[in-house]
Structure 1
Amino acid sequence: MLMKLGHILSAFIFLAGSHTALAENLDNVKPNQIISVTLSQLHPTQPSVGYDEIYYKLGRFSHEPKKLYDTLCEINGEKGIAHFYEHSKPTDASSYKCKEPVGTERDDMKTAVIGPDAKLYLTDGHHTFVSLWQLPEAGKDLKVHVIITKDYRSESTTDFWQNMIMDNNAWLFNRYHNPISWHQLPTDLELSKFDDDRYRSFMYFSRGISWDKPNPAMPYIEFYWATAVRTVFDLNQYDLNTQQGYLKALAEGGDAIIRLRSPNLGGSGKNAVDLGQYPKVSKKGLKHLQKRFSKLSYMIEYKQQLSK
């Protein structure tokens, strides 16, 4: 009860004393502070995303407006949607009501850091924010709240990126796990500027089947898994554009995942069990994705519509 009260009080203090933070007025922003930014102010710290995960989110948003508003409330630390209406707009926070004040549920919020160039670099939430950027009713000017976790403004650009890697705040590998330079990162969160890492998507849909995120989960955990699975399982052998084809890949890929025994999975420094590996493939998890309305079905339907 006291912890909950503390969350609400901190959120109240934030709301009472802040304005929308733009890149040019971050002078007084400190680590652990919640700020309001537009998606266009956030710079990526990874070169690829899983397009199929993005397609799932977009497909579900189109079928379930409540899920969209739930997501908006969640990323702002407001727990979930309380009420939304036919006239509600994602870009107008006054047109819908969340369950709690901004910042109440900090663990649900996305994070960013301030770079030496006084730019904001997103360190968690790429898939969610890329999805919202793609929505015509949201887009690059959508305002969101993020938690600033670190301030690197006093560092040189070279030191900044070295420390970002050491702090697990950047993923400088392409979809084939070849190292890249920070110069090769996308300039914003528009989907087409990212590479499509199919194995990153595959690990997302494999959750609840052959592995699941431990709590707490290390940053970029799906990328570490994707790096390891890519070496033992060939997605090119499967039709990932149909629900049955993807289910077959998840079942057979699940067998490969539960057999991984590396003490340094994907270069993570941890073994597969530490990163959430299941002892056996979950038939229940596979069955859940066979449903008419599942993460997989929303993704497949959206992807098929794109090809028309």
Structure 2
Amino acid sequence: MGRDQIYYKLGRYAADPAKRFDDACEANGQNKTKTSDANSRLDDLSTFTCTKAVAEKPADMKTLVVGPYGEPYLTDGHHTLTSIWEASSGGPQAKMWVRVQDNLSNLNRATFFRTLHERKLIWSRDGDRPAYPADLPRSLGLKNGLGNDPYRALVYFTRDIGYTQLADATEFTEFYWGDWLRTVVDLKTVNLDDNASHLAAVHTAAGAMVALAPDATVSNGKTAAALGRLETLNETEFTALSQPVGAAKPGKLPYAVAYRLALKP
């Protein structure tokens, strides 16, 4: 996953604690927060309320499949649920509703993972390297969960600037873009702890996206148009992304950078 996406969320939660409950309500298919107070906790769903009932908006819910021996495998929501895990009053005891896509517990392990591949429910890469079922973490959380792919985070910040998430978006849209951006932006030359340097990388990445022809192949046979490439770079959204922490409407990236810096000794 892209850790800077998590860092943005955690920075935002610190500045606006009520945002935690909006994200929890959305992930539960309950739209947004209706009531919360200083005593509300993510690990106690009875301490806040949402505007809709659980699963009333099922498309917003995170998903899993049940695998061999009844073990659950999360297929979507790794960033959101890790953010809730890491947030104040979250942690491993936080309870969330998750939509079950299928019960494949009758399959053996090899057939199960082959089925996930066929249904495009698993991404078998760790950054720019192949990954295998044995590499999958057994837990969420920044310490025990998925490793960091900075290109996945870079794509997150280019959303609605260089590309948009289509209503019928293909699975792993962000990862396809991330694969391609490895050939466009060398993040080893970017100071991700500096707003200006980090923002420049986002601008370069988004500019490269819109410069593609609609039928250009990005990754795995997916075209730029199929992955939501915008016709022109959305400078208005880029300006919004850039707004510093402390502004009337801080941007996502400065929140992420500030949180990264706060982690340093």
Q: TM-score, normalised by structure 1?
A: 0.81
- CA–CA distance in structure 2, aligned partners of residues 232 and 87 of structure 1: 47
Aligned to 2:169: 217
- CA–CA distance in structure 1, aligned partners of residues 146 and 126 of structure 2: 10
Coordinate RMSD, CA, aligned = 1.4
Aligned to 2:243: 291
Residue 56 of structure 2 aligns to a residue whose secondary structure is: coil
Match of 2:114, as an amino acid?
A: Q
CA shift for structure 1 position 143? 0.7
Match of 1:298, as an amino acid?
A: Y
For the pair 1:234 / 2:186, whether they are aligned, the reply is yes
Residue 158 of structure 1 aligns to a residue whose secondary structure is: helix
Match of 1:304, as an amino acid?
A: L
CA shift for structure 1 position 71? 0.7
Residue 126 of structure 2 aligns to a residue whose secondary structure is: coil
For the pair 1:63 / 2:15, whether they are aligned, the reply is yes
- CA–CA distance in structure 1, aligned partners of residues 18 and 201 of structure 2: 30
For the pair 1:186 / 2:137, whether they are aligned, the reply is yes
Change (3 A) 1:136 1:65: closer
Q: Which runs of 5+ in 2 are unaligned?
A: 245-249
Residue 74 of structure 2 aligns to a residue whose secondary structure is: strand
Instruction: Give per-residue Cα distances to partners, 1:197-245, cap 9 Å, x unaligned.
Output: 0000000000111111111222211011100111222122222112111
For the pair 1:266 / 2:223, whether they are aligned, the reply is no
Residue 73 of structure 2 aligns to a residue whose secondary structure is: strand
- CA–CA distance in structure 1, aligned partners of residues 62 and 147 of structure 2: 21
Deviating beyond 4 angstroms after TM superposition, the runs of 4 or more aligned structure 1 residues are none
Task: Choose from 181, 195, 205 the match for 1:253.
Answer: 205
- CA–CA distance in structure 1, aligned partners of residues 80 and 232 of structure 2: 30
CA shift for structure 1 position 54? 0.6
CA shift for structure 1 position 263? 4.5
Aligned to 2:60: 108
Aligned to 1:156: 108
- CA–CA distance in structure 1, aligned partners of residues 207 and 32 of structure 2: 36
Aligned to 1:40: none
Task: Choose from 45, 59, 65 the match for 1:93.
Answer: 45
Structure number with bigger Rg: 1
Change (3 A) 1:237 1:280: farther
Residue 65 of structure 1 aligns to a residue whose secondary structure is: coil
- CA–CA distance in structure 2, aligned partners of residues 181 and 289 of structure 1: 35
Does the CA contact (< 8 Å) of 1:233 and 1:256 recur in 2? no
Task: Choose from 116, 125, 128 the match for 1:173.
Answer: 125
CA shift for structure 1 position 136? 4.3
Q: In percent, how many aligned pairs have the same letter?
A: 31
Does the CA contact (< 8 Å) of 2:32 and 2:50 recur in 1? yes
CA shift for structure 1 position 265? 2.0
Aligned to 1:46: none
Q: Which runs of 5+ in 1 are unaligned?
A: 1-48
Q: TM-score, normalised by structure 2?
A: 0.93
Aligned to 2:247: none
CA shift for structure 1 position 260? 3.4
